[in-house]
Amino acid sequence: MNRILSVVDRQAIADLVSEVERNTAGELVTVVLRRSASYAAYRIGWATGLAWLLTAVVHLVFPDLPGLELVGAEVVLFGVLYTVLGYAPILRSIVPRHARQSATADRAKRLFLELGVTETRDRSGVLIVLSELERRVEILGDRGIHEHLGAEAWNLLVVGLVASIREGRAVEGLRRVIEQLGRELAARFPPRPDDTNELPNQVMIED
């Protein structure tokens, strides 16, 4: 799958985050995921069912084939199908929407903790997650900035960024979100003389 942000785009976003953070004690972290989960259970279920169905059809058409050969063919078919079902457009079609939504939300919450977004001095960290396979966005703010913005504002940020991605303008949408968050962070958490860069500015790429 082609990344929704090129190497040049990622550098531009990192530079923008650095610029924005000069005006605030807040911290912004951006992560791009290839997918939020492996969805192995869905791949196994579909591969098993399809392999069994195809083998059954072969058995009906060629009833004299030895059973051992059919079993071997079913195993091979399962392996091929499991691999094919990992292809992003196909996987996206077999995983229910609610499962994709839940997986992205759960992965974002884990990253929020794992990357230390909750550990900034002023509780002013913000995490932006773009998950490619699911075509979903999660934006999570720590307590200090979350309470300042309110749920509706967070939702509008997500909706705007998703719209930009669907239009093929991911970097423009991400820039707007970062700039808006920067203004909000600057208003709520102005820079201090002893500020340090607590979280990385570069876009993180994770599988």
Question: How is residue 202 written in tokens?
Answer: 């570069």
Alpha-carbon distance values, 85 to 9, 38, 43, 47, 139 (Å): 30, 11, 6, 8, 29
Phi, psi at 27, each rounded to 5°: -130, 135
3-state secondary structure of 204: strand
Residues ≥6 apart with Cβ < 8 Å to 56: none
- What CATH number does domain 7-37+96-206 carry, 3.90.1150.10, 3.40.50.9100, 3.10.310.50, 3.40.50.1110? 3.10.310.50
The residue count of the chain comes to: 207
E strand or H helix that includes residue 126: strand 125-131
Burial of 33 (0-12, 13-18, 19+ CB in 10 A): buried
Q: In this predicted model, what pLDDT tens digit does every residue of 77-94 receive, in sequence order?
A: 999 999 999 999 999 999
Q: Tell me the CA end-to-end span of the chain in Å, nearest whole number.
A: 11
Q: What residue segments make up the domains of the chain, in order of their start?
A: 7-37+96-206, 40-94
pLDDT score, position 183:
93
Phi, psi at 107, each rounded to 5°: -65, -40
Helix, strand, coil % in the chain, rounded to nearest 5: 60, 10, 30
CA distance 109 to 171: 23
pLDDT score, position 76:
92
Give the residue from 117, 91, 118 showing the smallest Cα distance to 37: 91
Positions of the chain with pLDDT under 70: 1-2
Give the residue from 147, 154, 151 showing the smallest Cα distance to 181: 154
3-state secondary structure of 188: helix
Cα 163 to chain centroid distance, Å, stands at 15
pLDDT score, position 116:
94
